[in-house]
Structure 1
Amino acid sequence: MKYPVEGSCQCGQVSYKLHTAPLKVVACHCTECQKLATSPYSVTAIVAAEAIEFTGEMKQWCRVAESGNTNCAKFCPTCGNRVYHYNPDDPSTIKLKLKSKNEAGDEVFEPKAHLWVSEKLSWYDVPEGIKVFDKQP
């Protein structure tokens, strides 16, 4: 894999350069991620904060998760695309939400596990051989 991998929001106002591989990539089936993605699940790449750089203006929205942790979302104020999530109590990692601009990113952002399958839509089947977790591992 050749780095950096680059991506942007839908309108292009916010962009990123990811300089190293994600720590992990997961598909989350929780109700909140279904709302976020407007699909059966949301793909998230957990990356080291120092391994990624962003350009463009972002706005922020925060909520308290079921775990009791604060989950903040950064998003593009122009097109509304989520860019990443983070826990303000642990700024060492971020949860990147954007797809890359190049085909190489397809490989980088392939989920290796499916989380919150206890809230999975009944008509979606998780691929065989993938790790699954009822909730957050």
Structure 2
Amino acid sequence: MENSKVRLPLLGGCLCGAVRYSLNGAPLLVHVCHCHDCQSVSGSAYSLTVLVPTAALALTGPLESFTRTTARGREVRNAACTKCRAGLTSNDVARPDFTGLRAGTLDDASWAVPVVQTFVRSAIPWAIIPGVEQVDPKDFNYVNLSAAWRATAPIFS
């Protein structure tokens, strides 16, 4: 879907519909994480995350949050619906201006094509995505990767 057009706002929500959100600004990056924390939190082989500016995201409905410390020592706050417990967002506590939005909660995630995958060493072997760049976590540079993603991303208007 290279350089197609996607209309803002992007809408999404939880499984039961009690929580809804609207993203009113262009996403910054779409990436896959294969770390064990993401596998556990998502209940899947990896997480597909859309990094967005926190200020552009408006959530409504009953949310609960919990903070966990990752294996690398980062504090991450996750938010979920209090009714269906579907996870929606995560934030690095040290970087509150950015929010990780779980791509599967978007009403239409067809445009959310990852440009990179990380923590591949802990990936379930069949879940490594062919053709998607693999980046070691220590080399994961959000600024550079965001620029790479935006070069092929849809045009958000």
TM value normalised by structure 1: 0.89
Q: Deviation of residue 25 (structure 1)? A: 0.8
Q: Deviation of residue 35 (structure 1)? A: 1.4
> Which residue of structure 1 lines up, in the alignment, with residue 80 of structure 2?
75
Corresponding position: 1:95 with 2:97? no
Task: Give distance in 1, aligned partners of 2:71 and 2:44.
Answer: 21
Corresponding position: 1:11 with 2:5? no
Residue range with higher mean Cα deviation, 118-127 or 68-77:
118-127
Assess, with a 3 A threshold, how the Cα gap between structure 1 residues 88 and 124 changes in structure 2: closer, same or farther. Answer: closer
RMSD between superposed Cα atoms in Å: 1.4
Matched residue SS, 2:30 = strand
Matched residue SS, 2:96 = strand
> Which residue of structure 2 lines up, in the alignment, with residue 131 of structure 1?
133
Aligned residue pairs, count: 133
Contact 2:77–2:91 (8 Å) recurs in 1: yes
The correspondence for 2:110, drawn from 87, 102, 106, is: 106
Q: Deviation of residue 21 (structure 1)? A: 1.9
The correspondence for 1:119, drawn from 119, 122, 128, is: 122
Q: Deviation of residue 4 (structure 1)? A: 0.4
Q: Deviation of residue 99 (structure 1)? A: 2.6
Q: Deviation of residue 66 (structure 1)? A: 2.6
Task: Give distance in 2, aligned partners of 1:10 and 1:41.
Answer: 19
Among all aligned residue pairs of Structure 1 and Structure 2, give the percentage whose two residues are the same amino acid: 27
Task: Give distance in 2, aligned partners of 1:54 and 1:47.
Answer: 13
In terms of fraction of residues, the more helix-rich structure is 2
TM value normalised by structure 2: 0.79
Contact 2:120–2:128 (8 Å) recurs in 1: no
Assess, with a 3 A threshold, how the Cα gap between structure 1 residues 124 and 83 changes in structure 2: closer, same or farther. Answer: closer
Task: Give distance in 1, aligned partners of 2:55 and 2:34.
Answer: 28
